[in-house]
Structures are given as structure tokens and as C-alpha cells.
């Protein structure tokens, strides 16, 4: 008997690297990024209904109308599969909204995978990836998980050898950063058509395991100039013992890489005491990702 509901974990991501190249003819920037799933996750409870698509969320900052990416994903898959029945999606939100952790994109991918199981669909991987790319640039990555290279506008995803880090700290100053605004702010820096080369020498010479300490993000220059509190968080994490601190995506979340549990715990307490959202997380590899998606 087909299930009437599924529960899906919707994991967050960070970017070990994010290099912004030239402005493309379609108005997007060409990027090279290395994505990484981490253990922080939302929980989606997807239930069959008679018709339509309905989304509920326990975070008032999340829109529950047609602009919600999970809503868009359900409609597109419903159309592709020719389903007349509907679905209700309840989102328990734990990933900060507009925080550079791709919570909305992850919700969309989790919805696609959840509905494939709920409806018992036989969908080709390429069709699901094409559908995901229509929803948003980060959505295809969450059909892959683990450590992966993203090219194009980020929607072309290629699995890489796994990066493992068990002591990461995510911190957010409580501000929302507009991704389109961040890219627009790059302006003259990325319109020349000249591209830079991602530090793949790190992968070749030192191994991909070095990425946590070689991380870089080209959007920091623009975003930190407008939001100095993000720079303050980075410096604070370094001061509290992080070997590296970097803004994830377009911000405002910053991740810190720690050597030991003592420094991580001390930093977690200090950041929370300062009134910021903060969470200790670990990387999630592809095997762990797909092994824990469904509850």
C-alpha cells in the first residue's frame, strides 16, 4: 500500500569556496563553488490531500504562497507526473531564513524527493535535475548532497571526494541578505568577461581535505561592506579559536572551523551569550545524506 505521508529531512549547505566570474548573457553570474551539506536541517512533513498544494511553516518569515520554493517544486512535479491529487507540506524551520544556507532550495529538493516516494513515481534523474534547475540555482545540489562542485549559475553539479569536518560552528547576526542584491553589488568587478581560476591546486597538491582552511568567498567584499556585523562575527570566531571563518553563500551566516571540542563549545556559548543565533554542526557526506533523508 502506498504511504499517505512522508517525513523528509531538509539539510542546510555551506560553500567551501564561492568564486564569481563574468556576468553571463542571461543576466546571471558564472560561478564556481564547492557545496557541502551540513547536519543542520529543517523537517518536512508531506501528506497526500485531495487537490491543490498547501504549505504551512512554523516560521513567520517564510512565505507559504506560490513564491515558496517547496510549493513551486510540488506544482512542477505534479504537472510532470500528471497527478490530479494534491499535497500538504508542513515545514518545521530550523535553518535561518535568507542566511546563505539555502534553506528554501533545500526544502524544494526535499519536496521533490519526498513526493517521488509518496506518489511512487518513476522519474529519470535527469528529469528531476532539470526540474530542480527551474526552481532555483542551488536546488539541484540537494539532489546530490555531500561535497560537490557547482558551475554555471550553480545548477550544474558534480560530486567530489568528500570533505569531512566534525567541528563547525554556524553563526548568524540576525539580518537577511538579498542574494540578487549581493551579486548586483559586484558591478564592475565581474563584468569584464575575464575569469579567474578556482584554486583547484588545493585539490591537486594538498587534497580536498584542505578545503576548510583554504575557503574563500568572492561575495564577502560586497556584503561585508554593507553589513559590517558579519565581519565582526568572522573576527569573533577567529578570536574564539576558529582556524578559519567564512561567510556562506551571500550571507549572513558565517561558519567557523574548529580543531577541538573545547574551543567549539566555548565559542558556541560566547556567541549565544552575545544574542546571536548559533549552532554547532558537522559535515554530512552523500552516504549519510541519503541514508538519513527519510524518517
The helix or strand, by DSSP H or E, that contains position 261, with its residue range, turns out to be helix 261-273
- To the query of whether residue 13 is one of the catalytic residues in this protein, the response is yes
List, as one string, the DSSP characters of 29-91: EEEEEEEEEEEEEEEEEEEEESSSEEEEES-TTS--STTSHHHHHHHHHHHHHT--SEEEEEE
Q: How many CB atoms lie within 10 A of CB 204?
A: 9
- To the query of whether residue 285 is one of the catalytic residues in this protein, the response is no
Quote the CA–CA distance of 105 and 160 in Å, as a whole number.
Answer: 20
Catalytic residue among 42, 78, 93, 138: 138
Query: Strand pairing partners for 100?
Result: none
Determine the length of the chain: 295
The strand ranges marked E within the chain are 5-23, 29-49, 53-57, 86-92, 147-151, 156-159, 168-172, 216-217, 244-247, 254-257, 277-281
**CB 137 within 8 Å of CB 250:** no
Among residues 187, 22, 18, the alpha carbon closest in space to that of 101 is found at 18
Active site residues: 13, 138
Amino acid at each position: 500500500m502506498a504511504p499517505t505521508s512522508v517525513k523528509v529531512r531538509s539539510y542546510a549547505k555551506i560553500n567551501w569556496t564561492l568564486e564569481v566570474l563574468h556576468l553571463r548573457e542571461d543576466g546571471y553570474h558564472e560561478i564556481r563553488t564547492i557545496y557541502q551539506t551540513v547536519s543542520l536541517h529543517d523537517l518536512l512533513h508531506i501528506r497526500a490531500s485531495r487537490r491543490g498544494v498547501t504549505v504551512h511553516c512554523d516560521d513567520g518569515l517564510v512565505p507559504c504562497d506560490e513564491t515558496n520554493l517547496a510549493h513551486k517544486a510540488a506544482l512542477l512535479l505534479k504537472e510532470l507526473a500528471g497527478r490530479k491529487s494534491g499535497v500538504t507540506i508542513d515545514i518545521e524551520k530550523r535553518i535561518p531564513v535568507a542566511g546563505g544556507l539555502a534553506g528554501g532550495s533545500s526544502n524544494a529538493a526535499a519536496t521533490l524527493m519526498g513526493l517521488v516516494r509518496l506518489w511512487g513515481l518513476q522519474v529519470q534523474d535527469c528529469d528531476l535535475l532539470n526540474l530542480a534547475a527551474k526552481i532555483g540555482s542551488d536546488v539541484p545540489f540537494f539532489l546530490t548532497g555531500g561535497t560537490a562542485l557547482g558551475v554555471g549559475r550553480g545548477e550544474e553539479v558534480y560530486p567530489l571526494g568528500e570533505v569531512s569536518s566534525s567541528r563547525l560552528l554556524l553563526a548568524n547576526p540576525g539580518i537577511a541578505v538579498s542574494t540578487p542584491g549581493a551579486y548586483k553589488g559586484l558591478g564592475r568587478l565581474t563584468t569584464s568577461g575575464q575569469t579567474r581560476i578556482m584554486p583547484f591546486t588545493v585539490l591537486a597538491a594538498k587534497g580536498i581535505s584542505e578545503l576548510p582552511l583554504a575557503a574563500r568567498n568572492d561575495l564577502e567584499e560586497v556584503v561585508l561592506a554593507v553589513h559590517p556585523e558579519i565581519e565582526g562575527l568572522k573576527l569573533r570566531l577567529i578570536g574564539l579559536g576558529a582556524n578559519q571563518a567564512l561567510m556562506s553563500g551571500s550571507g549572513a551566516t558565517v561558519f567557523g572551523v574548529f580543531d577541538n571540542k573545547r574551543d567549539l563549545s566555548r565559542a558556541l556559548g560566547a556567541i549565544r551569550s552575545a544574542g546571536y543565533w548559533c549552532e554547532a554542526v558537522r559535515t554530512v557526506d552523500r552516504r549519510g545524506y541519503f541514508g538519513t533523508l527519510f524518517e
